[in-house]
Structure 1
Amino acid sequence: MTDPRTARAPATPLIVHDPFMSVWSHTDELTQSWPTHWTGKNQSMAGMAHIDGKAYRFMGLVTRTGVDVPAMRQTGREVTPLRTLYRFEADGVALTLTFTTPSFPEDVELMARPASYVDIEVAAIDGKSHTVSAYIDWSTNWVTGNAETDVIWGRHRAGTVEALFVGAREQTPLHQSGDEVQIDWGYLYTSAEPGVAVDSAFGDARTLRDSFAQTGTIPARDDVRDGRPLPLPSHGHRGLNINASGIHQERPAYNVSAWSRDFGAVGSAPQAFRLLVAYDQVYALEYFHRRLRPFWSRKGQSAIGLVEQAWAEREALCARAVAYDDDLVGQLTRAGGDTYARIGILAFRQCLGGHALVADLDGSLLYFSKENSSNGCLGTVDLTYPSAPFFLHFNPALLEAQMRPICAYAAGGAWPFPYAPHDVGQFPLANGQVYGGGELTEHNQMPYEESGNMLILAAALLQRTNDTRFVEEFWPLWEKWARYLVESGIDPENQLCTDDFAGHLPHNTNLSIKAIIGIGAFGKICQRLGKTAEAEKYFAVARDWAAQWPKLADDGAAFRLAFDQAGSWSQKYNLIWDRILGLGLFPAEIARKEVAAYRSRQDRYGLPLDNRAHYTKLDWLVWTACLTGDQADFEELLQPVAAWLDAAPQRVPLSDWFDTQTGKQIGVGGFRSRPVVGGTYIKLMLDSAGP
């Protein structure tokens, strides 16, 4: 039995809030690499302990120009949905480093608060007393990816709360969009526990780190380089780095916000150094050419007010996070075993970290996904669809908040087509679809895909909340999209589906299932709104097509990838919504027949998506494993994923697209850190809903 909390992870979440504030460790040991943004760009943190006059690292690397500091021995690593813990030992002292991000999806105020707690706890483990101090810093590469960029820094206070802040001197919020764009606007805040004696400084990374490594303390002033106070207008001196040997033409170094605490004599009783890191983006998103503040600041709260509030609530939130993690890990394990719990733990923060929450001018929630590592699209419907089980389970209001921008866009006149859009922009600019033909042409659109997705999600939201207001508000859209599917027919033309990496495919049987269930879903919406005649009309179409589908798709032992391709096969993951929505359109025998075939087609690391290639999608694989509702089927189809988690060669945040024979990501860069992994919560959602 593998403890899902201590098992290997392809990458370990440290501080993950949204697509811009998303920092991970990509190595098994925290001292083997710098922490990085999900894109792989350094967002450095250095951590050191000074024990009886000798320095050790517990986080980060040794820079090529700095003092050589050996690593503490890492003795443990534990990841839970909301926390990550590392344990180290050196010279008779144990050190525990804990990252806590209290992003409870049921509580949007806390979920959207961009503040994480970082705790360093030390204790003697050899029965002796030791003199110990601890150090941690945050590099300015959190706020800009260019060492030559001028930055400004300072201190804010609110009573006993003090915070260092830093940001680019020239602030240009929301000036660029894209996939692997790293934020270079807004301000990073770091703070230590109020009322506890600590030291802090802002200055040259090498100087501050070397000072602590050599003395166990940091200079009692800001802006120092090589022990001398210097006016630092930027990260460096325009290419000139000064050290004791003179002037060298070197790349300028990043500055850091540094904190240290002298514990004095440390015995067996643990002593703690508590810190907090937060990010004020100033502006979070542009929504149809209107700039919107981050959700937490929508009512005018200041950044230091955010830090102050986070400190005031720290004890309660950290205790709540521990209890929440224990309960959720237990639920995941009971639902699907250790492998499923491993997936769920890694998917939790990643799913939330792939979204950003804002409020519209009328207070309506707007929640935007980002297509990390694919194309940077924002508010993509076929990201909302796979991640929906997470939000249906934890907080359906967040699913509605993802659907609202698409509906507002489609109803607003700019979207010219009779089917649902693919997206509303490219992160962080929600100004209209950018994928495929955008608003201009029907080239590379996803008509069946997105229309079916929106209808299915609308019915699922209505079923989960029993609240008709949202579906009533956008009634004309559901009617238009359902009519489009009916008029288009059971057999899809040559078009893309959500698995667009596989290219266009005519006669796609799985896409046909989506259209059938989408039409049935619209029937349920009509039924709930008392539109009986329309409900029966659409139910009749869905039932008729569902009766035709097996005859058109049958290939003997299983069902085809495409109606016209004998000998082909594919995962029919869309079929799960027939069960979720209780439509009863497809006989249970279809799922049993499919899954029986799948069990014989597994590769080393999982079931391929279809017969065309040896790759799979993690989200769809978990959905497919749920098709029959049989626990043995689920566990057998999921078991190879444990081997993949143990051996995945790319050390990146959980990939959802990988080779089932080699475990490698597909393509250059590959899919990583995408919010679609929230779809793996479908098993927990189904189990929680009951029979």
Structure 2
Amino acid sequence: MPCIDRLPAIPLLASDPYLSIWMPADTMTQTDACHWSGPAKPIRGVLTVDGVACRFLGAGPEPEAGLTELKVTATRTCFTSEFAGVRLETCFASPALPQDLDLLSMPVTLVTLSAVSLDGAEHDVRVKLHLSDRLCYDGDIRPAMSGASFVLNGKNTAWCGQTTQKPLSHSADHSTIDWGYLYLSADGETTLVGDGLQTCCSLSAGGPAAQLIIAYDDIASINYFGDLCKPWYRRDGRQITDAIRCVQEHFDTILNDCTRLDARLAEDARSAAGEDYERLVNAAWRHTFAAHKLIATPAGEMAFLSKENDSNGCIGTVDVSYPSIPIFLKYCPELVNALCRPVLEFASMPVWTEDFAPHDVGRYPLATGQVYAARRHVGQGECYPPYYLYPAGTDVWDVRYQMPVEECGNMLIMLEAGRAFGADPALAKQYRSLLDTWVQYLVKYGEDPDEQLCTDDFAGHLAHNVNLAAKAIIGVACYARLTGEESYAKQAKTMAEHLLEKIGDKGNTPLTLDGQGWSMKYNLLWDKVLGLGLMPESFYAAETASYLPRINTYGLPLDSRADYTKSDWICWTARMADDAAVRTALIAPIAKELRETTSRVPFSDWYDTKTGRYVAFIARSVQGGIFALML
């Protein structure tokens, strides 16, 4: 029987929001690979055994090789194909290694190909891998293209890209890159062909694997408040060819590091919540990192910018960063500071005169000022004005569509959580005056929030939101920890006591402070993780146990308003449970959804708990929240 790791979409190239290519099928030959947003970006592989060809990757006219094994780990997608007495083993690895941020920021994928004779006979084995130049442009109309072949560090290398380059020339949600250059490097013959790049190699059965490198030079990654910034690894003048050379020279070491990280993550996951949780962790790792771009700011500091995929395309969204941080707290806490830095910089500019935190810093890839709640709507593909240049008093945003309590709480919690797990506290100290303003907003408006949006804005405005009140309380407590201001610790404790008086400690707590409905209380996670001592342990035991009767086939609904859920919030809620059986009951349906959903999109975080179908939100950074159970 084939051993297949079933996911709704299989990661192939996973480096950033543009280089995010997936196979939306159970096998590797049912269709072509595509960008997370849907457009086909073909990567095709043909295996020829003794002169007879078959297809092991992508669509095409050749007969399909039999897929006998597919394994998706945190950093690697490996699959085995059989044809004419030969087994071909193929592996795509993304070096998303948090211990090496230079390497993590390189848009590279390592590919290995090896052959084994199944019948003991000698075979003539040849493999061809073809990358479509559709990887270099957006839309269906092929522009004028150019490219060439050359030798780099003794390896055959080819590149292709549009003849006319316009870096960072569009901004949208469902869009692919429309500039830059695709590279392919290998030992075998590697050339520019009519519609892309191609490498051909001969394999010896039982011999060493062929090693290929796929890379992408985006020229410029982010417009960062007027400066065109490059990936982190290029901060000292390095180029894409230096990245390729680095991988060439350390190929085996990088793969070994990927294997070791995979093993560590698998062990951490099983220890936290078992095999179903391991499946979630493996599905979420590359997924999360590929929803971000790590750049060097003009000051030489790290900025880690998410794209709000399939929800509006915003860059650096605070309430998208907030749910993602468990993965970074566990494995690289300084990235939490890198998430916060762009928001703090923007909030310090004259145009931002609000007494609460921003929602975002632009629309990807243009970090040129908040676009959420902007009075002027700009269509997909167009560029928003450079709001960061505007003076105070310009009245750019409509306060009705802001998320004041949400974002103030998020920023204070992220900064304190990062500090608690080892991030440099200097960033929070640098922006102390902003934090003072934001905590005062929470004290004034957070205990019983009026009708405003929260991160679950798809559900609409909600007054007296218990989850939002909980976030305000946690935010105040985190500010106290950050600054040493004991009066705010007492304030947070008083606010928590008031909340407990209103909602009770017997479980089944309401959605709103006036007693309506019910909801997951995911924002209270930080009381447990950071040891804030705001709510009694009996509250968490009763509350998490009360969720069990509400679980549907594919998970616990977000709240009483609908059957849909958020996978990240379920994992946060599971972390609040000390009872392993409760954790398992909450986690298992998400793993079931991954195995059974008919929605062929990368791990949606917003899906229906009865049908398992995705509602919206594809390939989003919030799946970093899956790692909450490891904190």
TM norm structure 2: 0.94
Could you report, residue by residue, the CA deviation over 1:243-290 in whole angstroms, capped at 9, with x for unpaired residues?
xxxxxxxxxxxx021111134xx44x2343221100000000001111
Could you report, residue by residue, the CA deviation over 1:582-608 in whole angstroms, capped at 9, with x for unpaired residues?
110111222122112101111111100
Equivalent positions of 1:158-169 (< 5 A) are: 158-169=152-163
Task: Supply the distance in 1 between the matched residues of 2:117 and 2:345 (Cα, whole angstroms).
Answer: 59
Determine the structure 2 residue equivalent to 1:16: 14
Verify: 1:564 aligned to 2:514, yes or no. yes
Equivalent positions of 1:219-368 (< 5 A) are: 255-263=195-203, 266-267=204-205, 269-368=206-305
Task: Supply the distance in 2 between the matched residues of 1:114 and 1:615 (Cα, whole angstroms).
Answer: 34
Determine the structure 1 residue equivalent to 2:379: none
Equivalent positions of 1:118-197 (< 5 A) are: 118-145=111-138, 146-193=140-187
Task: Supply the distance in 1 between the matched residues of 2:359 and 2:153 (Cα, whole angstroms).
Answer: 48
Could you report, residue by residue, the CA deviation over 1:184-235 in whole angstroms, capped at 9, with x for unpaired residues?
1010000103xxxx2233223xxxxxxxxxxxxxxxxxxxxxxxxxxxxxxx
Determine the structure 2 residue equivalent to 1:625: 574
When residues 200 and 594 of structure 1 are mapped into structure 2, their CA distance, relative to the original with a 3 A threshold, is same
Partner AA of 2:627 in structure 1? Y
Three-state SS of the structure 2 residue aligned to 1:459 is helix
Verify: 1:30 aligned to 2:20, yes or no. no
Q: Is the 8 A contact 2:157 2:190 kept in 1?
A: no
Could you report, residue by residue, the CA deviation over 1:629-653 in whole angstroms, capped at 9, with x for unpaired residues?
2222111111222221221110110
Verify: 1:109 aligned to 2:79, yes or no. no
Greater alpha carbon shift after TM alignment, 556-565 vs 325-334 = 556-565
Task: Supply the distance in 1 between the matched residues of 2:469 and 2:576 (Cα, whole angstroms).
Answer: 17
Structure 1 runs (4+) deviating above 6 angstroms are none
Greater alpha carbon shift after TM alignment, 437-446 vs 158-167 = 437-446
Query: Which ranges of structure 1 fall in alignment gaps of 5 or more residues?
Result: 63-67, 205-254, 528-534, 687-691
The alpha carbon displacement at 1:147 in A equals 4.0
Verify: 1:472 aligned to 2:429, yes or no. yes
Q: Is the 8 A contact 1:550 1:559 kept in 2?
A: no
Q: Is the 8 A contact 1:482 1:518 kept in 2?
A: yes
The alpha carbon displacement at 1:526 in A equals 2.0
Equivalent positions of 1:584-663 (< 5 A) are: 584-663=533-612
Equivalent positions of 1:421-570 (< 5 A) are: 421-437=358-374, 439-465=396-422, 467-527=424-484, 535-554=485-504, 557-566=507-516, 568-570=517-519
The alpha carbon displacement at 1:557 in A equals 4.8
Q: Is the 8 A contact 2:156 2:190 kept in 1?
A: no
Report which of the two structures shows the higher radius of gyration computed on alpha carbons. 1
Three-state SS of the structure 2 residue aligned to 1:593 is helix
How many residue pairs get aligned? The number is 609
Determine the structure 1 residue equivalent to 2:389: none
Q: Is the 8 A contact 1:554 1:560 kept in 2?
A: no
Task: Supply the distance in 1 between the matched residues of 2:208 and 2:598 (Cα, whole angstroms).
Answer: 38
Could you report, residue by residue, the CA deviation over 1:55-82 in whole angstroms, capped at 9, with x for unpaired residues?
10001112xxxxx310110100001111
Task: Supply the distance in 2 between the matched residues of 1:557 and 1:633 (Cα, whole angstroms).
Answer: 14
Task: Supply the distance in 2 between the matched residues of 1:348 and 1:593 (Cα, whole angstroms).
Answer: 31
Could you report, residue by residue, the CA deviation over 1:426-472 in whole angstroms, capped at 9, with x for unpaired residues?
00000000012374321210001000011111111221227431111
Q: Is the 8 A contact 1:378 1:425 kept in 2?
A: yes
Q: Is the 8 A contact 1:84 1:100 kept in 2?
A: yes
The alpha carbon displacement at 1:391 in A equals 0.7
Q: Is the 8 A contact 1:157 1:304 kept in 2?
A: no
Determine the structure 1 residue equivalent to 2:322: 385
Three-state SS of the structure 2 residue aligned to 1:363 is coil
The alpha carbon displacement at 1:131 in A equals 1.3
Three-state SS of the structure 1 residue aligned to 2:351 is coil
Q: Is the 8 A contact 1:144 1:184 kept in 2?
A: yes
Task: Supply the distance in 2 between the matched residues of 1:664 and 1:96 (Cα, whole angstroms).
Answer: 32
Q: Is the 8 A contact 1:168 1:186 kept in 2?
A: yes
Q: Is the 8 A contact 1:100 1:318 kept in 2?
A: yes
Task: Supply the distance in 2 between the matched residues of 1:7 and 1:306 (Cα, whole angstroms).
Answer: 31
When residues 70 and 466 of structure 1 are mapped into structure 2, their CA distance, relative to the original with a 3 A threshold, is closer
Q: Is the 8 A contact 1:437 1:445 kept in 2?
A: no
Decide which of 622, 625, 628 is 1:676's aligned counterpart: 622
Task: Supply the distance in 2 between the matched residues of 1:648 and 1:447 (Cα, whole angstroms).
Answer: 35
Could you report, residue by residue, the CA deviation over 1:610-632 in whole angstroms, capped at 9, with x for unpaired residues?
00100110000001111132222
Three-state SS of the structure 1 residue aligned to 2:471 is helix
Q: Is the 8 A contact 2:15 2:107 kept in 1?
A: yes
Q: Is the 8 A contact 1:164 1:190 kept in 2?
A: yes
When residues 73 and 131 of structure 1 are mapped into structure 2, their CA distance, relative to the original with a 3 A threshold, is same
Could you report, residue by residue, the CA deviation over 1:128-175 in whole angstroms, capped at 9, with x for unpaired residues?
111111101100000013443001111243341331111111100001
The alpha carbon displacement at 1:489 in A equals 4.5
Verify: 1:201 aligned to 2:179, yes or no. no
Task: Supply the distance in 2 between the matched residues of 1:19 and 1:366 (Cα, whole angstroms).
Answer: 15
Determine the structure 2 residue equivalent to 1:689: none
Task: Supply the distance in 2 between the matched residues of 1:45 and 1:526 (Cα, whole angstroms).
Answer: 52
Greater alpha carbon shift after TM alignment, 438-447 vs 407-416 = 438-447
Decide which of 40, 61, 73 is 1:80's aligned counterpart: 73
Three-state SS of the structure 1 residue aligned to 2:109 is strand
Q: Is the 8 A contact 2:137 2:179 kept in 1?
A: yes
Partner AA of 1:164 in structure 2? A
Partner AA of 2:417 in structure 1? A
Determine the structure 2 residue equivalent to 1:215: none
Determine the structure 1 residue equivalent to 2:343: 406
Three-state SS of the structure 2 residue aligned to 1:130 is coil
Task: Supply the distance in 1 between the matched residues of 2:585 and 2:562 (Cα, whole angstroms).
Answer: 21
Task: Supply the distance in 2 between the matched residues of 1:680 and 1:627 (Cα, whole angstroms).
Answer: 13
Partner AA of 2:106 in structure 1? R
Partner AA of 1:517 in structure 2? I
Task: Supply the distance in 2 between the matched residues of 1:496 and 1:163 (Cα, whole angstroms).
Answer: 51
Q: Is the 8 A contact 1:371 1:377 kept in 2?
A: yes
Q: Is the 8 A contact 1:437 1:443 kept in 2?
A: no
The alpha carbon displacement at 1:659 in A equals 0.5
Task: Supply the distance in 1 between the matched residues of 2:505 and 2:232 (Cα, whole angstroms).
Answer: 51
Task: Supply the distance in 1 between the matched residues of 2:596 and 2:414 (Cα, whole angstroms).
Answer: 35
Greater alpha carbon shift after TM alignment, 617-626 vs 640-649 = 640-649
Three-state SS of the structure 1 residue aligned to 2:124 is strand
Verify: 1:48 aligned to 2:46, yes or no. yes
Sequence identity (%) = 36
Q: Is the 8 A contact 2:10 2:22 kept in 1?
A: yes
Q: Is the 8 A contact 1:19 1:370 kept in 2?
A: yes
The alpha carbon displacement at 1:365 in A equals 0.5
Determine the structure 1 residue equivalent to 2:378: none
Q: Is the 8 A contact 1:388 1:399 kept in 2?
A: yes
Q: Is the 8 A contact 1:354 1:369 kept in 2?
A: yes
Task: Supply the distance in 2 between the matched residues of 1:415 and 1:337 (Cα, whole angstroms).
Answer: 46
The alpha carbon displacement at 1:574 in A equals 0.4
Determine the structure 1 residue equivalent to 2:385: none
Partner AA of 1:52 in structure 2? D
Determine the structure 1 residue equivalent to 2:382: none
The alpha carbon displacement at 1:410 in A equals 0.7
Partner AA of 1:645 in structure 2? L
Task: Supply the distance in 2 between the matched residues of 1:469 and 1:460 (Cα, whole angstroms).
Answer: 14
